[in-house]
């Protein structure tokens, strides 16, 4: 294929309901077709209501995808055409691959809007995309496993942490908690890189900023009856309070947009607990469609394109 032809840009993300009416089908899809109980549905609906009714994630994902494409289309490289594929709501990943095939896209780079790789997260997105592509006979997909250690991303993340620390007085002793979405503990049995990658990027930022006090935690674990990675951020706050910590900066580095796991789990649930424990809790701003963040993603995409059929 001639290099001047359009490159597909498959931007994959988790997805979110866009209205109250979409909460039930969304939750059912997450549960692999099993509808939630009324109690579970009511609890999730209550959380959305607490942040304004629906999550801003759908709109943010669109801005991220089209903003990324805009940067790539003026960087002097191959022109791209963006396609959004979501895991749990429309347009699904399969829909995006089908649209690329219909449009005659022969090669595409696929990126998931999450920095750290896990077989249960990024791996599942990739499997869905590859299966759809194989069934349709194209396009050829060049997939990005992770970008948590890309220098441009780390710089943006470090800037977010530095900005967050400025919310405290200059002589305050602040502990930064680097967190990401918890996953079932069973991933440890297969040597999944997810926990190590969380520490790699957090420690890289800590070195860049010479942080003296930082730690790691997990958040937003599912209620599946099986053990999930811990400690949970709420338990971490209790641990820090017992140790005399009074200032905490939350950096949900595993998330790149404002959504339920940040706007509710951190801004409401964690902050309420922190207040009860006598801790001042602030958090870093999410990446959203910040241009410097999108420039980092653009560099990741170009690097994967240049590798072509080489192993990512």
Residues making up the binding site: 14, 31, 47-48, 55, 125, 181, 261
- Binding residue positions for Fe-coproporphyrin III: 14, 31, 47-48, 55, 125
Q: Which residues are annotated as a binding site for Fe(2+)?
A: 181, 261
287, burial (CB in 10 Å: exposed 0-12, middle 13-18, buried 19+): buried
């Amino acid at each position: 294929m001639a290099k001047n032809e359009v490159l597909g840009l498959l931007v994959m993300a988790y997805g979110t309901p866009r209205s109250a009416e979409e909460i039930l089908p969304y939750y059912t899809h997450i549960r692999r077709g099993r509808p939630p109980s009324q109690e579970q549905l009511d609890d999730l609906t209550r959380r959305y209501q607490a942040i304004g009714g629906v999550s801003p994630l759908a709109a943010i994902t669109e801005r991220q995808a089209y903003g990324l494409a805009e940067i790539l289309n003026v960087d002097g490289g191959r022109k791209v055409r963006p396609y959004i594929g979501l895991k749990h709501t429309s347009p699904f990943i399969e829909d995006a691959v089908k649209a690329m095939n219909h449009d005659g896209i022969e090669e595409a780079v696929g990126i998931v809007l999450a920095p750290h790789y896990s077989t249960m997260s990024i791996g599942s997105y990739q499997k869905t995309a590859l299966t759809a592509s194989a069934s349709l006979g194209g396009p050829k997909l060049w997939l990005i496993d992770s970008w948590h250690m890309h220098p441009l991303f780390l710089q943006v993340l470090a800037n977010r942490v530095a900005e967050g620390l400025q919310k405290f007085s200059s002589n305050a002793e602040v502990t930064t908690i680097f967190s990401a979405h918890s996953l079932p503990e069973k991933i440890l049995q297969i040597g999944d890189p997810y926990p190590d990658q969380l520490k790699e990027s957090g420690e890289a930022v800590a070195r860049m900023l010479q942080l003296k006090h930082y730690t790691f935690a997990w958040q937003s674990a599912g209620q599946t009856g099986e053990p999930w990675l811990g400690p949970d951020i709420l338990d971490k706050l209790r641990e820090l309070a017992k140790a005399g910590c009074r200032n905490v900066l939350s950096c949900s580095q595993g998330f790149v947009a404002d959504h339920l796991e940040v706007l509710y789990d951190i801004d409401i649930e964690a902050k309420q607990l922190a207040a009860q424990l006598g801790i001042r809790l602030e958090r870093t701003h999410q990446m959203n469609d910040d241009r410097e963040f999108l420039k980092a993603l653009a560099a990741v995409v170009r690097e994967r394109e240049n590798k072509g059929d080489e192993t990512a």
